[in-house]
Structure 1
């Protein structure tokens, strides 16, 4: 049963029906300039669940930042009941410098639950877990593919939780990828605390893609609608196609170094032996056709124009739930 108590978060008090921007004081730059992470909180006067939307754990993953930005700018985050907490950029240092990691070289998504007196990244993780996550009843964390690897919009959850399955289907991304929680990841830390979480992946670093961001925003609206939090003026669309549930997948790696170009589209289904790309040299003397080793769906494509032998080119599903 949800209550309508006063929300005490990061030293601030937010009453039902109030809006607030709370400063998550991370640290200071080497110039002594303070760096704050804004946390946007919207509360209804009516009791209900609290949903936490997070993005920017990696500073170069801009699509997730854009999704949460749109939730705020369009007023979607103002709930009919309950509370929303939006953190568009968790790794503000990486976002400022357009880098994935923190200035200490650590990946924020590999240091949870963090330590009060640990590294900079570890301290941020600790504050998030101690001060923000306990208030959440449900969490959606937005990510993108690293480097040039472009992910098809997908929800990642561990297999075995019926509740997670239901919520992932409600979100409505084209793919659900069952994957184990990585040690010291945000998702793993939340699960250990009993906080249900969906991890959304879509697009690639240093990039904004309309399909990826629209899928994320629509998914967030469906989640809010499920909890009775979405206001009437916002419409909930049905997913364009039935979600594909992937239980096993495999990376297809380059056999040769050279100039690379994919010849299939993201999200399509391929058969064994299909030509899906080619690797050439700059001199017009070499042309290697990349063929699929598996029958399945293309859920990630390396969009780098230059690849080296052994580089991951395609992520292809090998087993799906029917």
Structure 2
């Protein structure tokens, strides 16, 4: 099968449903052999089933592509290492890692208990770090052996991680952490032939349909479905391919037919006294700087 990712091997976490499924199918359609990871858990991360990953693999095989299922927990060292091993033992190589797995346990901060905080940070942030670490260790070894790869990592952040989202303190913190992780990994792994980028997608999935039911309905007239997960996947495929050479450390927002390069923190208005401020002076200086600064965008759900 020819395509943008022909001959490449890609791993996609959380690929049994929603965005991950769409990414896996799109990668396979462009010629990649795909390791489809999914624990098959519920929306809140409980339970487990091998069915969703297996169904996606069956879809890919039926269309003439190559795929294998992986049911390990990628937020554990063994699960993440076995994910990389599955790609290497099945296909002999690993070219792209798409970190996508996650779930929600939404609460207002005053009602958010420690278990819900830990569970969401674990699956989103640790579930990005561990597969990234094990994949990068393989790529570093390849580079040191004189076989520098053309490797790609696509992480999944969110608008909640960029702006915050009311009722999603744990999720927002995890997704913001993923942006920081992306920037560090891009800086550290470039010498090994690895490019690392992130997307902040918006689409209709189990994680979003309840919050955005009014705006995410499937068009009744059969027109363009702006909230279909498959709309996000073409950008992911490109970022996972060799075609995006030189693109690293970037965050892209993707929704419907729109792609936006997100521009993060950068210095705005500044003043330097050249000596220590008094508290009153610092407050006066900060007030003047704020008057010259742009107005920040509100958190999602803010009144």
Same fold (TM over 0.5): no
Pick the structure with more strand per residue. 1
Q: Which has the higher helix share?
A: 2
- TM-score, structure 2 length as denominator? 0.32
> Structure 1-normalised TM-score?
0.31
